[in-house]
A and B are shown apart, each in its own frame.
Chain A
């Protein structure tokens, strides 16, 4: 079953075409990495899928429903691109932030039930932050904050997780742990994952599909195909393509 179907989508910011002719599908259980250079339209595509930016052309279906009319947002967990200082001085605890993710499953008047506390606890345990529950968000490190946002996205036990450069502000070791967590969620819990990253070589090892954007869809397929794609060779050159495709990957080493 396809959770996301994107057909000939173009997105424009006024007269500027940010994305055009994008067609791709994400099936249940996929781990799709969307990569590309700065300004290639990765975040734009994610926002269009989440109905935050209306496409100028084409259609986007979520679970078979046009994203403009989609209402089952509790099926989707979203981890936005957040800079570390965005919430400086915000007085919310980790528990309060993770609980806010539950609002997607609620109708007006939105109130938390007794069982919500268990869901929040479970989400925090899943991403390894139960001991941070009563800490203020702006007192946490970048890596801890990313785990909080992942827990918030996970709290509804969604089928589909969408993450926008979740490791942009964190160190390599923490980034590795974060990718490991995502990989476990995909393989063990069956979560479908759509992840935006600059680092094709790194996420390519974890993902089963890779979409390379540069305002249009340059490549969509498996990482092995990416490494042998003539289009990618033309774009990067043989040497760079080799460097990307032979990057160190602890996940593979463990296997």
Chain B
């Protein structure tokens, strides 16, 4: 316990907790809608775009986050356009954009000089090394994402349940879809810094999937997903500090453990009832 109190005294741990908690909430809120709409892999696809953006940022000697935010947003709209207007299946559209991005990222990495170590940190995250400015940025942008989801909650719910019916309710479905996808892009861009390019999609998928196992209503699913996400980030940060493990990977493993726990809790509950 003393070690935990000691850990929380460090400003880098405080920064990791603050940005992780906010980002975790944003991911969880978005994740419920994305998972239910079979779009959860968009987080993975956009994370690959983020990798290319990081490569480009390092290549251009710019802060990767400022390159990845617009680039990932553009890619998200491209995926939406491919699936809506170009008659490409959504999963294929994600795969196309993802593959092109990884190829671009690797190409940039190969022609760039001396940024392999940095690129590795973006692949697997470096939450313990984020700066004060990045904390402020992640809090502000997470609040924008959370606020947007709350503002359009009813529209997002109706579209997630039945897109066609949402049209008949007079909801501007295409606009709301763009808002959801842009929020996802924003969250992924931030998540790259927190848990890394390869692991951000798990923060979107795991808390939502775990919450959906046991939630007794839609609001309950969102609240539970946010609680699980915060729990995984906080415990992941502390466990990684205590055991000297990579923080991003530890957060994902904690998420997996929570999923397994809830899964068996549900199975046992079902057997007993």
- B169–A136 touching, CB < 8 Å: no
B215 in complex: contacting residue of A78, A80, A91, A100, CB < 8 Å: A91
- B217–A100 touching, CB < 8 Å: no
- A110–B161 touching, CB < 8 Å: no
- Measured CB to CB, the closest approach of chain B to A16, in angstroms, equals 15
A110 in complex: contacting residue of B155, B168, B212, B221, CB < 8 Å: B155
User: Which B223-268 residues have a C-beta within 8 angstroms of A?
Assistant: none
A101 in complex: contacting residue of B169, B212, B221, CB < 8 Å: B169
CA distance A89 to B165 in the complex (A): 19
When distances are taken between beta carbons in the complex, the residues of chain B under 8 Å from A89 are 36, 212
**With known contacts A90-B36, A92-B157, A101-B169, A136–B216 Cβ distance under 8 A:** yes
When distances are taken between beta carbons in the complex, the residues of chain B under 8 Å from A82 are 162
Q: Give the tally of cross-chain contacts (CB within 8 A).
A: 68
A104 in complex: contacting residue of B160, B161, B170, CB < 8 Å: B170
When distances are taken between beta carbons in the complex, the residues of chain B under 8 Å from A76 are 168
- B217–A96 touching, CB < 8 Å: yes
Question: Which residue of chain A is the closest to B220 with respect to CB atoms?
Answer: A91
Whether a CB of chain B sits under 8 angstroms from the CB of A245 is no
- A73–B170 touching, CB < 8 Å: yes
B162 in complex: contacting residue of A80, A93, A106, CB < 8 Å: A80
- A111–B170 touching, CB < 8 Å: no
Instruction: List, sorted by A's number, 14 A–B pairs whose CB atoms are closer than 8 Å.
Output: A73-B168, A87-B161, A89-B36, A91-B215, A92-B157, A96-B219, A97-B161, A100-B157, A100-B158, A104-B168, A104-B170, A111-B154, A134-B216, A136-B217
Please list the residues of chain B having a beta carbon within 8 angstroms of any beta carbon in chain A: 36, 151, 154-155, 157-158, 160-162, 164-165, 167-171, 211-212, 215-221
Q: Give the interface SS of chain B, mostly helix, strand, loop or mixed.
A: helix
- Measured CB to CB, the closest approach of chain A to B273, in angstroms, equals 12
- B151–A104 touching, CB < 8 Å: no
**With known contacts A73-B170, A103-B155, A78–B217 Cβ distance under 8 A:** no
CA distance A135 to B169 in the complex (A): 23
- B168–A50 touching, CB < 8 Å: yes
CA distance A96 to B216 in the complex (A): 11
Whether a CB of chain B sits under 8 angstroms from the CB of A172 is no
In addition to A73-B168, A80-B164, A96-B218, 20 A-B residue pairs with Cβ atoms within 8 Å of each other are A50-B167, A52-B167, A52-B168, A80-B165, A87-B161, A89-B36, A89-B212, A90-B161, A91-B212, A91-B220, A92-B218, A93-B218, A97-B161, A100-B157, A100-B161, A103-B171, A104-B168, A106-B154, A110-B154, A136-B216
- Measured CB to CB, the closest approach of chain A to B73, in angstroms, equals 22
